[in-house]
Structure 1
Amino acid sequence: RVKRQTLGMEAGEILDLVRQREAMLRGLKEGVIAFDAQGKVVLMSDSAHQLLDIPRGSAGRSVRDLGLDDRLQSVLTSGTTESDQLVLVGDRLLVLNTVLIESKGRTIGSVTTFRDRTELRSVEEELDVTKTSTDALRAHIHEFDNQLHTISGLIQLGEYDEVVGYVEGLTMERAQVSATVTEKIADVGTAALVIAKIGAAAQGLVTVELAADTHLETVDRRLGRDLVTVVGNLVDNAVDAVGEMPEAARRKVRLSIRGRGTAVEVRVEDAGPGIAPENRDRVFGQGWSTKGQSSDGHGFGLALVRLTCRRRGGDVTVSTRSAEDIEWTVFSAVLHDGEGA
């Protein structure tokens, strides 16, 4: 009977297996945590302790006694096999995969592995800026083709004065957008992002206006990266919100970026359908979006904005204001120059 329960292994083989398991758990960069059928910790790797900020000696404790937030507890105790679940833990973005352990047709526990995707998310943010710029350039290529055909036609008709006026008008229009942004925003990375977002939104017939009170000097590179995260996510959400509005006057987004002392204030207003009062706190929850609960990577933009702002000693809020017979949704974010200021 003992042989059957130990899968035919001798005592020495079992000891070697335990040692190998301990060595493997210490060497894994990914976090590993296993629970029994009652939701108590069976084992936890060193990386799991670090990533979840759980003190050692947690074996035998219930998942509800580990001090984890509701979202993480929900994923760990879902009772189903889950793949690539995104969860914010502190200032880390983790990807969790859960596998159920079954014996004789019943579930006797589960094993969850997770890896840190924070750095990858930062790279994705930078790539998103590049993709936005690329998409805008691709759209401009088609636009330039039409403009070149117009110029060619005017030349063939001998309308040389019209050609000069047409080219000057195009040059002025392009230069005006860049000049408006760079005059108000000296930080190169932020200015490039704003120009790209204005161009990308225009392709979807959405107008992004830069507020008159916008003024930003060059900022620290790390603050600049966080600022790109905040501005990019807030503008993208606002553009998505107004993109389906039937009235042209409602397809409008207003952006304000102001440097005040050691703080940077970002305000994004949109004329979209708005957010119900009962959901104004929930929109900053991870995995939640106006279209419902999400597990495919969507619904994390505002959670990342709040995380970034709070890490910078600030915060983000949502409110409304009435102007021009429109109820505007207003997101206001504050970041300080210096983490945890």
Structure 2
Amino acid sequence: MNRPHLKLGTKIAILSFFLILLSVFLAGVIIVNRISDKMEQEIGYRAIAIARTVAQLQDIQENLGAEQGSKVIQPLAERIRIATGVEYIVVFDMKRMRYSHPYLDRIGTIFNDGDEGPSLQRKEYLSQAVGVLGPSIRAFVPVLADEGTRQVGVVAVGILVPTIKDIISTLRIQLYSSLIMVLSLGILGSFYLASNIKKNMFFLEPNEIARMLEERVAIFQAMDEGVVALNMENQITVINQKACHIAGITKNVIGVHLNDLEVLSVLNDLPEARDSSETMELLLNQTWVIINFLPVKVKDQIVGQVITIKDKTEVRKMAEELTGVRTFIEALRVQNHESLNKLHTIAGLIQLNRVQEAMEYVYNVTAEQQEVTRFLSQNIKHPSVAGLLLGKYNRGKELKVDVLFEHDSSLGELPESIDSTALTIILGNLLENAMEAVVGKELCEVHCRIKQEDTVLIFSVEDTGGGIPPEDQMKVFQWGFSTKGTGNRGIGLPLVKQTIERLGGTIELESGNWGTRFGVRLPLKGAHLL
């Protein structure tokens, strides 16, 4: 088992504290328990004796059950209670009606504390309960009339149990002795730990340790990205100036719990990302940032987490360029694969000397491809979006899925607030999910509609798959949730939703046995900048 690396003063304090705590606890438990048991036993004997005395009084036996019996029983019970110093004497008949009680408003009410049952069957016993006056030991003694042949009621005598404070006050000498003894042991242990100072400090002088610490702090603060380190209790152990600048933190937050900082508490709402070390985009202090969660391990044991924070504006251009290149590479790959398949088909027809069929196949393929290309080039003016749609169309051909574009689709120039990266993320993920949903179905169609109006941009992607179960429709936008098994799943739709919300838009989901439709509306004015 690995021992924690603590400062010498901390080790000494912990040792002394636990030795004192252990001794006081053991001594206190043993002494208090023994005294408490003895006191409870004596209190029980006393309560039984008083209850027996009251139960044998003739006035009690004759007036129990009488209509005005309480006028005789109450004064008599109160005199005995005051004389004996008990907390209460309650006399009740066989119907549990009280004839005496320290509180007058209780007389005439039903005694129903739950532990009186056996006493109504001529049984004498002790009980511990919480009554109206507090925790007490109660003695129940049946009242027997006619020379003990007939039970007419019960006498309950209660004596409050001494509090822990009362018991401890009687044990001060013993406790002080234990404290002195344990303090002596703590001092001896402190001297023993002090002898290991040099070993614990790796034989370094204090000034050398301070210089090494200053150098490491300077390197950490010079990093060009925000870094926040957390322990296992989500308390901040390290944070550099870059992270403070991005988050707008101006005070010392070392040791502060993550939930106690409003600007950083949003990180606790991403448990899936924290467990999977995925890259996330997040609005932090009015700034869009990219964050990563990385576990901190010491000797193969996780002792905390490190959160890296990057300002998205610093990597925006590179990310857009990389996203665009990847989109067109995927489109070219799919188109190249599809072209090779078509060439093989043409070559086979020619080799079979079926020239006419080969000519018709070439004409049909060319016409279909030209029609789609012409439609996208005329109706979709944004080149990145047009390239993405063409790539997904060819991808559908590869999967035997018909990707159909509505004839009224159109997209012109977009405002600066909406860039190609956001559109390719939204459309790319929705189309890919739709194609995966219809693969292997009897009807394999994906319908896509893009409509740009004066103030809003509308996307609609509909498939003919089996639909999403109602219980899963609210979960598909959660990070890590997927109906397609485990692995690198559950990322696309949450990313789509996050991107849409960042642009101030909305997304709607409709699903049934006929398939699934996602509807997206993005405002063309007042959208948030990336």
The residue that corresponds to 2:296 in the other structure is 99
Q: Give the structure 2 partner of residue 231 of structure 1.
A: 427
Q: CA deviation at 1:230?
A: 0.8
Q: Secondary structure at the match of 1:39?
A: coil
Please show how residues 129-208 of structure 1 align to structure 2 within 5 Å: 129-149=327-347, 152-153=350-351, 165-208=360-403
Structure 1 pair 309–162 and aligned structure 2 pair: CA distance change class (3 A): closer
SS at match of 1:308: helix
Deviations 1:56-85 (A, max 9, x none): 522111233331244545665x6xxx7x43
CA contact 2:289–2:309 (8 Å) conserved in 1: no
Q: How does 1:211-230 map to 2 (within 5 A)?
A: 211-220=406-415, 222-230=418-426
Given the alignment of the two structures, is residue 253 of structure 1 paired with residue 446 of structure 2, yes or no? yes
- Listed as ranges, the matches of 1:7-156 within 5 Å are 7-49=202-244, 56-66=251-261, 67-72=265-270, 84-90=277-283, 91-101=288-298, 109-114=303-308, 116=310, 119=315, 122=320, 125-149=323-347, 152-153=350-351
1:314 to 505, 512, 520: 505
Question: AA paired with 2:477?
Answer: F
Alignment partner, residue 492 of structure 2: 301
- Give, as a single letter, the amino acid of the residue that structure 2 aligns with 1:22: V
Q: Is the 8 A contact 2:346 2:358 kept in 1?
A: no
Are the counterparts in 2 of residues 72 and 87 from structure 1 also a CA contact under 8 Å? no
Q: Say whether 1:340 aligns with 2:528.
A: yes
Shift of 1:133: 1.1
Unaligned runs of 5+ in 1: none
Match of 1:100, as an amino acid?
A: K
TM-score (norm 1): 0.80
Number of equivalent positions: 321
Give secondary structure in 2 for the equivalent of 1:201.
helix
Determine if contact 1:234/1:302 at 8 Å carries over to the other structure: yes
Deviation at 1:227, TM superposition (A): 1.2
Bigger strand fraction: 1
Deviation at 1:259, TM superposition (A): 0.5
Per-residue CA distance 1:26-51 (angstroms, 9 max, x = gap):
11234433334543211112333456
User: Are the counterparts in 2 of residues 233 and 302 from structure 1 also a CA contact under 8 Å?
Assistant: yes
Q: Rg bigger for which structure? A: 2
Q: CA deviation at 1:130?
A: 2.2
Matching residue's letter, 1:234: L
Q: Which residue of 1 aligns with 2:37?
A: none
Q: Per chain length, whose mean CA-contact separation is higher, i.e. which structure has more relative contact order (CA < 8 Å, sep 6+)? A: 1
Q: In structure 2, do the counterparts of structure 1 residues 328 and 30 end up closer, same or farther at CA, with 3 Å as the change threshold?
A: same
Task: State the AA in 1 paired with 2:515.
Answer: W
**Unaligned stretches of 5+ in structure 2?**
1-195
| Alpha carbons 2:410, 2:452 under 8 Å: kept | yes
CA–CA distance in structure 2, aligned partners of residues 56 and 134 of structure 1? 52
**Alignment-mate amino acid for residue 505 of structure 2:** G
Matched, 1:282 2:469: no
Asked whether the 8 Å contact 1:63–1:73 carries over to 2, the reply is no
Aligned identity (percent) is: 22
Alignment RMSD:
3.2
Name the aligned partner's letter for residue 339 of structure 1: A
In structure 2, the CA distance between the partners of 1:340 and 1:147, relative to structure 1 (3 Å rule), is same
